[in-house]
Chain A
Amino acid sequence: MRITPVGATISPSRRGDGAVGLLFALPHLILFGTFLLAPVIYGIYISLHRWHILAKEHPLIGLANYSAALTDDIFWVALRNTVYFVVLVVPLGNLVSLLLALGLASLRRGATFYKIVYYLPVIISIAVVAVLWRWIYNTEIGLLNLYLGSVVNWLRSIGLPLRPFEPLPWLANPSWVMPSIALLTIWWTAGANMVLYLAGLGNIPDDYYEAAAIDGASPWQRFWAVTWPLLRPTTLFCLVFSVLGAFQVFGQSYVLFTAVSGGSQSGPARSGLTLALYMYLQGFRQYEIGYGTAIAYLLFAIVLILTVIQFRLLERRDASSKV
C-alpha cells in the first residue's frame, strides 16, 4: 500500500502550524483512542486473565488462556471449519469476481445493468442474507431443492439414467454446512471484488492488447501474457482483503444456527462453528471473556501472518519479474 500518492503536495518549506494541527486531528484521535486503540490494548490485558464476566476477581494467569485454546478440541474444530471456509470462499469467490469483471470489460453495451445486478447482494445486511438463504436452503420446500428436483426429473423424463432426486441436506448434514455457507457468501460478496477487478482491468493500456493482437495472440494467450501479469496488484489486493474478511466469518453461522435456537448452537455437530463464533459463544454465552479474547487474538495473529506472507510473495514476484 502506498501512503503518499504520486504528485503529492506536502510543502516542506511552509512554517509549522504548531498546535493547530493537533487541534484539527483531536476529535478523531479521541474517538480513535477510546474506541479502537484502547480496546486493542485492553484486549491483550483481558486475555492474560482468568476473567468470568460476573466474577469479582480476575486473576492474572499469563498465557494460560492461549495454551488452553491450543489444547481445546473445540478450538481446533472452529479453526478447521474457518480454514475450510477460507479455502472454499477465497479462490472460488475471486474466480467468480474475475470472470464477471472480464465479461463486463468485454461488453460493448449493457455493462451498467449487469454491474448493478451483480453488485446488489453486496449492499444487503448479512442478517437479511442469512435469513433469506436459510429459506432457500430448506430441505423440503426450499427453492434450491425444488429446482434441482425438477431439473433431475426432467432429465429422467428425457431418458437420462439418473436416480430419483433426493433432497440435498444443505444445512442439515455436517459435511454440507460449510460449502453451503461458502456458496451464500460468494453470492453475497462476489460483486465487491468484481468492481475492483474491473477497475484493475481498466488500468491496463489498450496498446498492450493491440500489440498482442498484431503478434497474432489468441484471446487465451492475450489473457495470460497481458491481463494476468498486469492485473497482479489488483489480484493481490483482493486476495489479501478476502482472506482478512473470510477469516472473520461470523454472521452467517450466527444467524443460521445460533440465533435460530436462541442458545449456543453452531450447526449440526458444530459444523458451522467458526473462530469468531467460538469467541462469541465463549465470551457472551459462557461469559469467559478472558478465554474469548484470547481466541480473538489468535485469530488476529493468524490473519496477520497470512497477510505478511501474501505481501512477501508479491514482493518476490515483482522483483523477479523486473530482472
Chain B
Amino acid sequence: MNRWLQRSQIWLHIPMMLVAVLFIAPLLWMISTSLKAPDDIISGLGTMQWIPKPITTENFRNVLGKIEEFPIWRWTFNSVFVSLAVTFLVLTVDALAAFAYSRLRWAGRDRIFGMLVATMLVPGQVLLIPLYLLIRKLGIFDTYAALILPASASAFGVFLLRQFFLTIPMELEEAARLDGCGPLGILRHVILPLSKPALATLGIFTFMGTWNAFEGPLLFTDSAAMRTLPVGITIFQGRYNIEYGPMMAAAALAAIPVTIAFLLFQRHIIKGISLTGLAGR
C-alpha cells in the first residue's frame, strides 16, 4: 500500500489535478454559458449548472445574426488574414535579416544589430501614439497595412533566428559555396532547411501574438469592417453589457480557433518556449 502510494505519486496528482480544474473551469464556464438560454443565465436557474439544460444555440445565432452591426465573420476573416500576413512577412524578412547578421560580413553590421537588440526593451505602449500619428500621415489608417506593417517591425524574430543560424556549422556553408551557391542559395538550401524548429517556433508565436493583439488594432482602425476579433469582442461587450449569453458566445468564437491551433501544435509551442526563452508575448 505504502509503496503503491509512492509509486503512483497520488499525493502529487491530487493538488495538481485541483489546480488543473481551477485553470480550466473559467473556460468551460464560458462554453457552458454560451449554450444556455438567456433566462437560465439571468434568473439564476442555470447558474451553477455546468451542463446546460436545454442546450441552445440561440446565443450563437444571436451573435451571428446581427452581421450588419457586428460583422463577426468579417472580424474573423480580418484576424486570420492579418495573422497569416504578419507571420509570412516576419518569417521572410527576419530570415533574410538574421542571415545577414549571422553569416554575411558588411560594414556596420554589429553596430546595427546592437541597436536592434537595445530596442527590445522598449515597452509597446511608448510606440502607440507616435505610431498612430505616423499611420495617419502615411494615409494607411484603418487599412490592412496599419494592422500588418507595425506588427511586423519587431527585432525579436531577427534576434531569435540569428541565434539559431549561428549554431549551424560553417563547413556546410563552405561546401555549398564550393558548389557555386551564392548567399541566397546558401540561405535557401543550407540554412533554412536546418532551421525548421526555430522557424516553426517564430511562426507559431507570431501567429498567436497577432491573433490576440489588442492595442494596435484598437487604435489603428476605426471602422467596424476593419476590426479584428479581440477588438470586436469589446465592441460587442459595450452593447451587450449584461447579456452574458451572447457575450460568452462571441468570446468562445474568438477563443476556439486559437485553442484548436494550440492543441494541434502544443508540443512545438511548449518546446519552442523552452528553447528560446520566449514568454509568449
Contacts and interface: CB of A to CB of B under 8 A. Distances in A.
A93 B123 CA distance: 20
Contacts of B254: 125, 127-128
Contacts of A247: 123
A105 to B, nearest CB: 11
A187 interface: yes
Interface string B65-106: 000000000000000000000000100111011011110111
Contacts of A122: 280
A17 B182 CA distance: 11
A213 to B, nearest CB: 15
A139 B250 CA distance: 22
B184 to A, nearest CB: 8
Contacts of A211: none
A17 B130 contact: no
Interface in A156-204: 187, 189, 191-193, 195-196, 198-199, 202
A27 B106 contact: no
A124 B259 contact: yes
Contacts of A238: 279
Interface residues of B, number: 108
A39 B134 CA distance: 8
B97 A29 contact: yes
Contacts of B25: 143
A126 B33 CA distance: 19
B125 A248 contact: yes
Contacts of B94: 28
Nearest to A36: B153
* A146, A247, A248, A296, most chain B CB atoms within 10 A: A296
A251 B214 contact: yes
Given A29-B112, A127-B231, A260-B238, A36 B166 contact: no
Contacts of B279: 192-193, 196, 238, 241, 245
A107 B12 contact: yes
Nearest to A127: B230
A25 B155 CA distance: 11
A121 B27 contact: yes
A247 to B, nearest CB: 7
B149 interface: yes
B116 interface: yes
B219 interface: yes
Contacts of A187: 23, 26
Interface in B174-229: 183, 208, 211-215, 218-219, 229
A177 B247 CA distance: 22
A53 to B, nearest CB: 8
A293 B42 CA distance: 43
Nearest to A198: B274
Contact of B166 (A9, A109, A296, A299): A9
Given A107-B9, A192-B281, A244-B121, A25 B101 contact: yes
Contact of B23 (A28, A120, A250, A300): A120
A36 B100 contact: no
B51 interface: no
A39 B127 contact: yes
B14 to A, nearest CB: 11
A322 to B, nearest CB: 23
A32 B168 contact: no
Contacts of B33: 135
Interface in B252-281: 254-255, 258-259, 262-263, 266, 269-270, 273-275, 277, 279-281
A192 B130 contact: no
Contact of B219 (A1, A28, A138, A284): A284
B16 to A, nearest CB: 5
B19 interface: yes
B29 A143 contact: yes
A24 B104 contact: yes
18 contacts: A5-B166, A16-B107, A17-B104, A17-B183, A20-B106, A25-B109, A27-B96, A28-B93, A31-B149, A36-B150, A43-B126, A43-B130, A100-B16, A117-B24, A131-B234, A196-B274, A250-B214, A284-B219
Interface of B: 9, 12-13, 15-16, 19-20, 23-27, 29-30, 33, 41-42, 44, 47-48, 89, 92-94, 96-97, 99-102, 104-109, 112-113, 115-117, 119, 121-134, 149-150, 152-155, 158, 163, 166-170, 183, 208, 211-215, 218-219, 229-231, 233-235, 237-238, 241, 244, 247-248, 250-251, 254-255, 258-259, 262-263, 266, 269-270, 273-275, 277, 279-281
